[in-house]
Structure 1
Amino acid sequence: MAHLKTSAMKTKNLVWSLLMILLSFGICSAQSNDYPFKVKISGNGAKNLIFIPGFMSSVDVWNETIGELSSTYKCYTIQFDGFAGQPAQGEPSLSNWKASLATYIQKEKIKNPIIIGHSLGGVMALDLASTYPDLMQSIVVVDALPSLSAAFNPNFKVQENLDCTDIIMQFTGLTDEQFKTMQEQTAGSMSTIPEKQKEIVNWSLKSDREASAKIFCEFNNTDLRAQLAKAKVPALIMLNSRFGQMKEGINSQYTAYANKDIQYAPSPTHFLMFDAKDWYLTQLRNFIK
């Protein structure tokens, strides 16, 4: 009888423990609803890495990178609302996303993170470094500029209270088939790897078009060049080889960022973590170690 009582007690304790674990997961989920993004955490190293994907991209863009690093680093991946199947909630805004991510880092007490961003995520890393210069250890920018619009329009100036109606109509007015065709054409210049092209297209097809249009409009109306003077932390900037053909203009964009290292990849495509994987990982490892 004593043996049966002990077994019953163990079973009760196990059920109670599992219940508490499930409740704790529910609490974490509720907490994440306070932010315009979801967070996936992997690895348990002493150093913290925060990964931000690009426009309409999934956190899966970092899978191979995290596979290489999670044994020695703790990795946080940020999936913003409206992109790659993550439901859109509220009014999307890059400035709100930036402030919310800074709040998350502070509240979760993530010490000295290295923020790694691709494309739009790289712009956010630059914005965070110049707005919250004491929040992080360093940043890594993968194929992004402080002002993409200024790279192709020397007279570009940020417009106050920009009306995004036309861009929203362009995004939402296409049929599903038209939008897919457009994304397939774009993906061909983003990566040379067919299976990766399919992933890129699928992420965009799963994105909320209206929310994406609003972010696209804000992104193209962004100019961080002057405020980079406020950034203190070291920055590794990895750019595709096409940008290497306009180094003078690229260098002028980053002039205000004092502590930077600009490197040009052997690949001309945008997704360097795919098409220039070995080069990209070598640069990344050497910088974050």
Structure 2
Amino acid sequence: MSLATTFKLAFASLAIATVFGATPCSTFAAPSNQAESTSNAKVAQEFQVGSLYVEKYSNPNAKGAPVILIPGLASGAYVWDETVKQLRDNHELYVVTLAGFNGKPSIAGPKLPKLKASLLELIQTQKIDKPVLVGHSLGSASSIWFALEHSNLIRGVFAVDGLPVFPGTQNLGADQRKAMAEGARAQMASLDAASFGAQQTQYMRVTGVIDEKLALSLGVRAATSDPIATADYMAELLLLDMRPDLHKITVPVAVVSPFNAPDFARANMNEEGKNAYYKSLVNGIPQLSMISITNARHFVMLDQPQVFNQKLQEFLKKL
């Protein structure tokens, strides 16, 4: 099997699962207590900036760089609970949830431009001294997009399984990309609450995390997001291809590539092959480092929290 065919099989399947979701389950149920936060850290302040709902963790003795943590599609600040526990003693933290996700009200109009503008407003109004952006999935791609224009305002980007172009779409023409985005938007926006919840849970079981119980918990939480807002964010993400402008980023960027061998067995792809593919999509970034974490799916910080947080802290210490 050729390398090109391997990439096509592996990433086409992941892209389809992410955009359209896996086949909805016929039933959907999970204990209500699975949706409760596991974080014991206390929030110093909560406020809204544009389309961002912010949880601020302050420590007057913190000596590390401030950090802004941005979750992915249909997720909330809770995905960073373990990371918050690891960082809050040494870093001022701003953990955000995007409008329309995790039960937060949605906003009208384009979502990603508003997200980028809200990040800028957050940094400026809170007078955050060159934070590090840590983003997952949609949050990762948005962090890279922000760095294209505002590298002077940040110290670096820790990009967790989110890229400047959606994997599997890198060779699409403009018309094809637009058709795919609109198809994804229409299909997801048409789901009723039960179908959307079932889709999110099945996605978590197939692509999100390895542990079944954790997948069910994440599915419950993702189901509280607005299907229409989720569809809008997804469609706008599919339209992005930032590769021509990556040379404009002047801060260090680390790209985290999770790898779970059974998921790639059918395509005969190994860890090195997947990491190389991801690198090919971010090669224009001048100060780039690649981090591969095994035995992890898309929510790598939940599948492998110890390894993930170690890699993140190593990145922060180098800045």
TM bucket, shorter chain: 0.7 to 0.9
Question: What is the aligned residue count?
Answer: 258
Q: Which residue of 1 aligns with 2:50?
A: 35
- 1:195, CA displacement in angstroms? 3.4
Work out which of the residue numbers 181, 186, 189 in structure 2 matches 1:172. 189
Return the alpha-carbon distance in structure 2 between the equivalents of residues 100 and 159 of structure 1. Answer: 29
Aligned residue type for 1:262: M
Q: Which residue of 1 aligns with 2:300?
A: 272
Q: Give me the CA root mean square deviation.
A: 2.2
Structure 1 stretches of 5 or more lacking a match? 1-24
Q: Which residue of 2 aligns with 1:71?
A: 89
Aligned residue type for 2:192: T
Return the alpha-carbon distance in structure 1 between the equivalents of residues 126 and 170 of structure 2. Answer: 41
Aligned residue type for 1:119: S
Deviations 1:239-280 (A, max 9, x none): 112664334432221111010110111124111111111211
Return the alpha-carbon distance in structure 2 between the equivalents of residues 226 and 36 of structure 1. Answer: 27
**Residues 1:102 and 1:181: Cα distance change in structure 2 (over 3 Å):** same
Aligned residue type for 2:184: I
Return the alpha-carbon distance in structure 2 between the equivalents of residues 283 and 165 of structure 1. Answer: 37
Deviations 1:26-65 (A, max 9, x none): xx85xx3x51111110132232110000011010000110
Return the alpha-carbon distance in structure 1 between the equivalents of residues 170 and 94 of structure 2. Answer: 36
- 1:124, CA displacement in angstroms? 1.0
Q: Could you tell me the TM-score, scaled by structure 1's length?
A: 0.82
- 1:168, CA displacement in angstroms? 3.6
Q: Which has the larger radius of gyration?
A: 1
- Residues 177 and 239, structure 2, Cα contact 8 Å, conserved in 1: no
Work out which of the residue numbers 192, 203, 207 in structure 2 matches 1:186. 203
Q: Which residue of 2 aligns with 1:21?
A: none
**3-state DSSP class of the match of 2:129?**
coil
- 1:198, CA displacement in angstroms? 2.3
Q: Which residue of 1 aligns with 2:168?
A: 152
**Residues 1:281 and 1:161: Cα distance change in structure 2 (over 3 Å):** closer
Return the alpha-carbon distance in structure 2 between the equivalents of residues 165 and 231 of structure 1. Answer: 29
- Residues 275 and 290, structure 2, Cα contact 8 Å, conserved in 1: no
**3-state DSSP class of the match of 1:82?**
coil
- Residues 102 and 225, structure 2, Cα contact 8 Å, conserved in 1: yes
**Residues 1:95 and 1:161: Cα distance change in structure 2 (over 3 Å):** farther
Of 209-218 and 240-249, deviating more is: 240-249
**3-state DSSP class of the match of 2:217?**
helix
Correspondence 1:250-269 to 2 at 5 A: 250-269=278-297
Aligned residue type for 2:196: F
**Residues 1:280 and 1:165: Cα distance change in structure 2 (over 3 Å):** closer
**Residues 1:106 and 1:254: Cα distance change in structure 2 (over 3 Å):** same
Structure 2 stretches of 5 or more lacking a match? 1-44, 261-270
1:120 maps to 2:138: yes
Of 195-204 and 74-83, deviating more is: 195-204
**3-state DSSP class of the match of 2:162?**
coil
Identity percentage of aligned residues:
25
**Residues 1:145 and 1:67: Cα distance change in structure 2 (over 3 Å):** same
Return the alpha-carbon distance in structure 2 between the equivalents of residues 53 and 277 of structure 1. Answer: 15
Deviations 1:170-198 (A, max 9, x none): 22323333222222221112101233212
